[in-house]
Amino acid sequence: MELATRSSAIQVILSEHRRLTSIVSGMLRVVDGMTSGSGPRSAMLMRAMLYYISEFPEQVHHPKEEQYLFARLRERSEQFDAVTGELARQHEDGRLRVHALERALRRYELAGADLLPALRDGVYGYADFYASHRHLEESVILPGAQRYLTVSDWVEIDEAFAANRDPFESLETEDNLNDLYRLIVQTMPEAQA
């Protein structure tokens, strides 16, 4: 993708999108594997993935997109008002979807395989939702930002996104989201070719 030439914030955003995409892909593989009775370990892995999403993309990434990138783009051009408004609504919808997935996972853990189809439907729905959301940001917002934002806009945005750090960085290693991300990726079942 040609976007990564103007700003270090764009590099950070694209990298964080790739991380979330890998987590969502892993969620699909895990929920599919649950049908074969992989049980508690898969449920724990799914819980870790949902925790990662709720703590990093939902608490750090999305608020910064809205506060810095979307706000500056709206200041520079009215052309993106509807899209940034829609993306902000999607950020809220994504948060609600993650909570719904957490509830569906708890119900599955408590009631068993009869509730697996609802969890699976929720995971697949979230994956479709996120893919569409990511596409809108990367195909409309990032190119628009490269076109309309000023050097001073980028200095502020780059600084804000450069500060994106794991919110648990100062805690013990076991609580570190980067470590959690690596653990999730290493533990995920392999994608079937």
Question: Does residue 11 form part of some domain?
Answer: yes
* Number of domains making up the chain: 1
Residue 60 is part of a domain; what is its CATH number?
1.20.120.520
The per-residue pLDDT for range 154-182, each reduced to its tens digit, is 999 999 998 876 554 444 433 455 666 66
Query: Is the CB of residue 169 less than 8 Å from the CB of residue 176?
Result: yes
Question: Does residue 193 form part of some domain?
Answer: no
Instruction: State the DSSP code for 70.
Output: I
Helix (H) or strand (E) holding 178: helix 177-187
Angstrom distances, CA of residue 121 to CA of 24, 33, 100, 125, 151:
13, 14, 11, 6, 44
The per-residue pLDDT for range 112-145, each reduced to its tens digit, is 889 999 999 999 999 999 999 999 999 999 999 9
Question: Does residue 39 form part of some domain?
Answer: yes
Question: Does residue 77 form part of some domain?
Answer: yes
Instruction: State the DSSP code for 104.
Output: H
Range of the domain at 27: 7-187
pLDDT at residue 162 in the model: 87
Question: Does residue 192 form part of some domain?
Answer: no
Question: Does residue 82 form part of some domain?
Answer: yes
Quick one: tokens of 49?
A: 């993935």
Question: Does residue 43 form part of some domain?
Answer: yes
Mean pLDDT of the chain: 86
The per-residue pLDDT for range 36-81, each reduced to its tens digit, is 776 667 898 899 999 999 988 999 999 999 999 999 999 999 999 9
Question: Does residue 183 form part of some domain?
Answer: yes
Write down the H helix ranges in 56-176.
62-64, 71-76, 81-111, 116-136, 142-148, 151-162
